[in-house]
Amino acid sequence: MNEVHYDDTLDTKGLNCPMPVVKARKKISELTEGQVLRIISTDRGSIKDFQGWAKIGKNLELLGQETVEEDGTELYLHFIQKTS
């Protein structure tokens, strides 16, 4: 599995739309240019949400998305880079 390098993690487990994106926006503003944020979510809708966010949001790039299973629940991982 090719792991994406990340600098910080945001845990949004249990949170539902629109909170994962809202929290991620706040968190990413604390990062510096080039850094990558890993977001962990249990919200199925977050896959499309982060794709949309990266498309519309300026200075952001979605490096990758992964679905992993932990204790029977599906976790959705999103890797977002602050490009400027």
Partner 1 sequence: MSVSDVTTPSRKVDMNELLERLSTVEQRLETLEESQPDDMVALIVFSGELDRVLAAFVIATGAAALGQEVSMFFTFWGLGVLKKESNLAGKGLFEKMMAVMSPSNSTELPVSKMNYFGVGAKMLRQMMKDNNVSSLEEMIDMAKEMGVKMLACEMSKDVMGIHDDELMDGLEPAGVASFLGESLRSRTNLFI
Which residues in this chain contact partner 1 in the complex, by CB under 8 A? Answer: 14-19, 21-22, 24-26, 52-53, 56-58
> At its nearest, how many Å lie between partner 1 and the CB of residue 80?
12
Q: Is 65 a catalytic residue?
A: no
Comparing CB distances to partner 1, the nearer of 5 and 16 is 16
> At its nearest, how many Å lie between partner 1 and the CB of residue 1?
29
Mapping DSSP onto H, E and C, the string for the chain reads: CCCCCCCEEEEECCCCCCHHHHHHHHHHCCCCCCCEEEEEECCCCHHHHHHHHHHHCCCEEEEEEEEEEECCEEEEEEEEEECC
Catalytic residues: 17
